Structure 1
Amino acid sequence: MSTPKVYFNRVFLDPQAAKKAEVHEEIWKYCGGLPLAIVTMAGLVGCNPTKNNDHWSKVCKSLFPEQVAPLTLEGVTRILDYCYNDLPADLKTCSLYLSIFPKGSKVSKKRLTRRWISECFVAEKQGLSAEEVAETYFNQLVSRKIICPVDHSSNGKVKSFKVHDMILEYIVSKSSEENFITVVGGHWLMPTPSNKVRRLSMQSSGSKHGNSTKGMNLSQVRSLTAFGSQNRRLPFHLFNNGIIQVLDLEGWKGLTDKHMNDICKMLVLKYLSLRRTEVSEIPSKIEKLQYLETLDIRETNVGVLPKAFGQLKQLRSMLGGNKNTKKALKLPHEKNKEPMKALRILSGIEIDEDSSSIASLHQLTGLRKLAIYKLNIREGGQTFKQLRSSIEYLCSCGLQTLAINDESSNFINSLDTMTTPPRYIIGLELSGKMERPPKWIKELNNLYKLTLSVTVLRTDTFKLIQGLPKLFTLTFTLSAAKDDRNIVDILEENKQLTDREIIIPPGGFKSLKLLRFFATMVPRLSFAVTGKEVMPTLERIDMRFESFEGIYGIETLESLPRGASQC
């Protein structure tokens, strides 16, 4: 690295502004070309735009008194110390919490932010919900280069992240000094705490230093996280079940139904993740967890929720099923006597004819996301009518994300009869045996993300949605078996209607950045319209298919970088 170009690109979001700004040569020079130092200092400078060059000159003299290169490990530590001390108090706490996760691990943003909320590090502030405040804190840690984004969702937001090994080592050491989090096992050789352990992270993978809690006082543990796949017993008998607020056992092998008896004794538990464990049943004793806010049982063998689920009045996020396999979670058969007013996310559920609890959906007026992975209901039946009525009502109450996978009924085709458009919707996913998209989609002015079944991949569908002002991501998908006769018939009919070619109309899609096609068969696509602008802001095309009839006019997409289409 011979120039400070990378440094300035990190500091300034606008390259033109970077050129106009006075060059911080001093800072870059002392970083000595070391990427971690450059990126960290860039984050620090970028998050303090009001401070002038005199300030940064003083910072340089304090951080680099020897004024010699190369930068030593001690010098990097001084940089990290300064950046940590520059954080506001709330962000210091949130950054220390990163020491929970093992070295090199990829962490879900939602997993982190939900835990922040459960630990009371984040709360509602200035009209923002706790989730929105957590999002701003997370983004600030990204801006300061403490968190490194790895994956992005289709809406462009960070989905998962990592922490640089050296930064994580610093955070783990700092966290240990303050007795904030105790790490057992993993890659860090940490002294046994002399004080009572408050937050325990048990990391078994790659450990060379042992993973024993022997000699530790675990009676005050309020947060327990276990990583790894070893069938090692968890020391439940050493904990005070009455004070544990966070229990995250995601992916912990060896956890079975018998452990649920211990878990249901943790009466102040707020966050419970059993994701990817071997648990197959949630006992009725779960109703004792009256403070529970997040219940994550995705990718487990749990197929149905107990009647007692309706007693969890503080629950905000109910996460179940498996999106990849379309395995879904059945709701309790009985209707709730009292509404779950706190519930904001209900994801991964199945609705069938035996589900009398469908009437309870009307009561979930605080719901912001509803994801139905499986529908098995009779067209024209009572459940069919109740579900459509419930969805229409919830949309009028502020539902923002709706996902329905319907491969065995005709429900999604009935949504066109809704009396009013779901005006608050920002994310809509309708997959399965869909014959036509609802006409009201064209009125969803806040719609940011749209996923439709490939069975409606026709020119007239593009014409219907081309005027949506905020549409960022458009996906056509199909997960049904390719030998499903109903699907094959619909696709064949589409070919005849479109003369085997889909023409993307000009003059619309002003905000679209990402276009995706995930299906066994994708028909011929054409972007070429002479003299007219087609999808002017499109930056990426993703395609996964078994057969594809071709794509034409891709060179006319002015904002699409070469190499930005993936197959």
Structure 2
Amino acid sequence: MGLPLAIVSMAGLVASNPDKSIKKWKEVCNSLFPESVPSLTLDGVTRILEYCYNDLPADLRTCSLYLSIFPKGSKISRKRLIRRLVAEGFVSEKHGLSDEEVAETYFNQLIKRKIIRPVEHSSNGKVKSFQVHDMVLEYIVSKSSEENFITVVGGHWLIPMSTNKVRRLSVQSSGSEHGSSTKHMNLSQVRSLTMFRRLDQLHFHSFNNGILQVLDLEGCKGLKEKHLKDMCRMLVLKYLSLRGTDISKVPSKIEKLEYLETLDLRETDVGELPKSAGQLKRIINIFGGNKNPRRGLKLPQEINKETMKALRILSGIEIDEQSTGVEGLHQLTGIRKLAIYKLIISKDSKIFKELRSAIEYLGSCGLQTLALNDEGSDFINSLDTMSAPPRYLSALELSGNLNSLPKWINKLSNLHKLTLSVTVLQMDTFELLSDLPLLFSLTFSLSAAKQDEAIEDILEKNKSESGGEIFVPSGGFKSLKLLRFFAPLVPKLSFPEDAMQALERIEMRFEAFEGLFGIDTLESLQEVHLRVNSAADEITNFIVEDLKAIEKPR
């Protein structure tokens, strides 16, 4: 594994120094390998990693060392890393970019330099998760320990017990007991704590509540009410992740965390924020609910512009007839992402009108991402009556029994990513969307409609209205690179010449499928991924096998 890693690391180094002359590169090679050797040794790989590390600008060096927080083999979320870098204060606004945008540029540099490698991509083309090569991580952990930057406890690596004051602590699980205890450590200066094991092995009273800024307990088991009470005493906490833990309630004293910027409650049993959460003056990101099954987080009762004016992301919420904070959404004029995971309201209710009014208003203030999962309220079908389109949108998701698209959708010139209910899988939809200049990703999905028996009837009706075949308009979708269909029935799809010429990838998941035609005209197409339901009939399986046998001419 050493040789490929050495080649990849050197390639990243060369790509990041395009102006360096051949003479300089020869000097680099001579310094790394002063004597010619028949094969590359482990020491040689280490020298390459050392050189690559020392070549990093100071900010990137810090970001690299920070990767030692995560255990060997971890699949790490890009967003998790970026939000943590911001909370730690390792990035700040510069050149007109926000701190998160600056962190994104650092992240992209780490990829370019081959320090991290992408594992998954989101439908918008961005890296969703990544990994660090084991040898690179071993080097980073060792370097981080030397510089007393991050202290790793109980991990895979045999790191000597820290005798210094610990500043950032990562408690990892391991089959070995070596270094698995924090008993003899000085934890009074810990500013950042990340746990990857049960909480009963660590006591919060060991820490100085007046300086702890980052607490990441994602996926931890054994979280008790006493732990939550202790958290509410961490008065300068900026980042709190309880994602994937087994908590069901957030204590009302959370309002004491007046510096809190990120609160992550996703994939927990927390169904409602306490009233006091509306007093979090610096809160920027709130994540709750669960995508599968669809569960949401109810809004705090008190939302007003003065207390939550910093809020930028409100994701994973639920709105029903008892929701009391909907009217306050109007006040969140700084919000950039609003994702409603569950929506159950009556068409004649006051909340229905308040929500539509709030979305219309926020759309004029800079809302960039809107996701609505409508469980039968017919709310998504009322969006067409809005007086003006949400013109700043770059991502839109409309799930549920959508009858037709809002007519203003073709005016969204910044729209990059679009996810729609399969109920609008018809030719009219493609025609309406074909001229969107920046549309990168288009998905037709089941989502909320998944359990609705009437969906197949709707798809059959759409199919008959289009004559049994959907033709993608010629000449449109100039920027589209990803096209996805997740439906029980995918009708016959035809691509005329000059259709979707930038398309690189098609993904389909279905039970019944009638074929793809004209894919040989898609000049940029690289991948077609088909996932067939086990209940698929013989004809569908035959069509899939036939499609697999087609070799696209080059």
TM-score w.r.t. length of structure 2: 0.93
Q: 1:298 to 1:33 in 2, by over 3 A?
A: closer
Deviation by residue 1:60-82 (Cα, 9 ceiling, x = unmatched)? 11111122131122221111111
Q: Aligned to 1:125, which of 61, 82, 94?
A: 94
Are 2:490 and 1:519 equivalent residues in the alignment?
A: no
Provide the rounded CA distance (Å) in 1 between the counterparts of 2:91 and 2:339.
Answer: 26
Provide the rounded CA distance (Å) in 1 between the counterparts of 2:487 and 2:200.
Answer: 42
Once the two structures are TM-superposed, the CA of residue 257 in structure 1 deviates from its matched residue by: 2.9
Cα contact 1:334–1:355 (8 A) shared by 2: no
Matched position secondary structure for 2:11: helix
Are 2:319 and 1:351 equivalent residues in the alignment?
A: yes
Are 2:455 and 1:487 equivalent residues in the alignment?
A: yes
Provide the rounded CA distance (Å) in 2 between the counterparts of 1:490 and 1:387.
Answer: 27
Moved more, 538-547 or 288-297: 538-547
Cα contact 2:456–2:489 (8 A) shared by 1: no
Cα contact 1:257–1:280 (8 A) shared by 2: no
Q: Aligned to 1:558, which of 511, 523, 538?
A: 523
Are 2:428 and 1:463 equivalent residues in the alignment?
A: no
Provide the rounded CA distance (Å) in 1 between the counterparts of 2:79 and 2:399.
Answer: 24
- The within-5 A match list for 1:375-414 is 375-414=343-382
Aligned-partner residue type, residue 498 of structure 1: S
Cα contact 2:400–2:449 (8 A) shared by 1: no
Q: 1:335 to 1:77 in 2, by over 3 A?
A: closer
Are 2:157 and 1:177 equivalent residues in the alignment?
A: no
Are 2:113 and 1:144 equivalent residues in the alignment?
A: yes
Cα contact 1:392–1:422 (8 A) shared by 2: yes
- Residue segments in structure 2 that go unaligned for 5+ positions in a row: 532-554
Aligned to 1:213: 182
Aligned to 1:16: none
Are 2:412 and 1:422 equivalent residues in the alignment?
A: no
Provide the rounded CA distance (Å) in 2 between the counterparts of 1:99 and 1:459.
Answer: 50
Once the two structures are TM-superposed, the CA of residue 206 in structure 1 deviates from its matched residue by: 3.7
Once the two structures are TM-superposed, the CA of residue 104 in structure 1 deviates from its matched residue by: 0.7
Cα contact 1:225–1:247 (8 A) shared by 2: yes
Q: 1:486 to 1:378 in 2, by over 3 A?
A: farther
Matched position secondary structure for 2:447: coil
Are 2:417 and 1:449 equivalent residues in the alignment?
A: yes
Cα contact 1:322–1:328 (8 A) shared by 2: yes
Matched position secondary structure for 2:200: coil
Aligned to 2:512: 547
Q: 1:566 to 1:99 in 2, by over 3 A?
A: same
Deviation by residue 1:207-251 (Cα, 9 ceiling, x = unmatched)? 4524111211111111000013x4633221211111100000000
- The within-5 A match list for 1:71-470 is 71-228=40-197, 230=198, 232-336=200-304, 338-470=306-438
Provide the rounded CA distance (Å) in 2 between the counterparts of 1:206 and 1:327.
Answer: 35
Matched position secondary structure for 1:564: strand
Are 2:499 and 1:534 equivalent residues in the alignment?
A: yes
Aligned to 1:59: 28
Cα contact 1:339–1:360 (8 A) shared by 2: no
Once the two structures are TM-superposed, the CA of residue 488 in structure 1 deviates from its matched residue by: 4.6
Deviation by residue 1:8-50 (Cα, 9 ceiling, x = unmatched)? xxxxxxxxxxxxxxxxxxxxxxxx9811111111111110111
Aligned-partner residue type, residue 227 of structure 1: F
Q: 1:482 to 1:115 in 2, by over 3 A?
A: closer
Cα contact 1:100–1:201 (8 A) shared by 2: yes
Matched position secondary structure for 2:342: strand
Provide the rounded CA distance (Å) in 2 between the counterparts of 1:553 and 1:374.
Answer: 38
Matched position secondary structure for 1:36: helix
Q: 1:420 to 1:481 in 2, by over 3 A?
A: closer
Provide the rounded CA distance (Å) in 2 between the counterparts of 1:289 and 1:401.
Answer: 27
Cα contact 2:423–2:455 (8 A) shared by 1: yes
Aligned to 2:541: none
Once the two structures are TM-superposed, the CA of residue 203 in structure 1 deviates from its matched residue by: 0.3
Provide the rounded CA distance (Å) in 2 between the counterparts of 1:196 and 1:560.
Answer: 55
Matched position secondary structure for 2:405: coil
Q: 1:355 to 1:482 in 2, by over 3 A?
A: closer
Aligned-partner residue type, residue 366 of structure 1: G
Cα contact 2:280–2:307 (8 A) shared by 1: no
Matched position secondary structure for 1:357: coil
Provide the rounded CA distance (Å) in 2 between the counterparts of 1:397 and 1:138.
Answer: 29
Q: 1:259 to 1:212 in 2, by over 3 A?
A: same
Provide the rounded CA distance (Å) in 1 between the counterparts of 2:357 and 2:397.
Answer: 18
Matched position secondary structure for 1:565: strand
Q: What percentage of aligned pairs have identical amino acids?
A: 70
Q: 1:496 to 1:541 in 2, by over 3 A?
A: same
Provide the rounded CA distance (Å) in 1 between the counterparts of 2:448 and 2:95.
Answer: 45
Aligned-partner residue type, residue 322 of structure 1: N
Moved more, 53-62 or 231-240: 231-240
Deviation by residue 1:543-565 (Cα, 9 ceiling, x = unmatched)? 1122223332223322213x533
Aligned-partner residue type, residue 224 of structure 1: L
Matched position secondary structure for 2:363: helix
Aligned-partner residue type, residue 515 of structure 2: G
Aligned-partner residue type, residue 193 of structure 2: L
Provide the rounded CA distance (Å) in 2 between the counterparts of 1:270 and 1:69.
Answer: 52
Cα contact 1:341–1:364 (8 A) shared by 2: yes
Matched position secondary structure for 1:538: coil
Once the two structures are TM-superposed, the CA of residue 265 in structure 1 deviates from its matched residue by: 0.5
TM-score w.r.t. length of structure 1: 0.91
- The within-5 A match list for 1:20-59 is 34-59=3-28
Q: 1:280 to 1:482 in 2, by over 3 A?
A: closer
Provide the rounded CA distance (Å) in 2 between the counterparts of 1:434 and 1:263.
Answer: 43
Aligned-partner residue type, residue 466 of structure 1: S
Count of aligned residue pairs for this structure pair:
531
Q: 1:482 to 1:80 in 2, by over 3 A?
A: closer
Cα contact 2:278–2:301 (8 A) shared by 1: no
Aligned-partner residue type, residue 322 of structure 2: D
Once the two structures are TM-superposed, the CA of residue 480 in structure 1 deviates from its matched residue by: 3.6
Matched position secondary structure for 1:84: helix
Cα contact 2:155–2:173 (8 A) shared by 1: yes
Provide the rounded CA distance (Å) in 1 between the counterparts of 2:238 and 2:272.
Answer: 21
Deviation by residue 1:259-296 (Cα, 9 ceiling, x = unmatched)? 10001000000000000001110011000000111100
Once the two structures are TM-superposed, the CA of residue 533 in structure 1 deviates from its matched residue by: 1.4
Moved more, 383-392 or 493-502: 493-502
- How well do the aligned residues superpose, as a CA RMSD in angstroms? 1.6
Q: 1:499 to 1:231 in 2, by over 3 A?
A: same
Aligned to 2:548: none
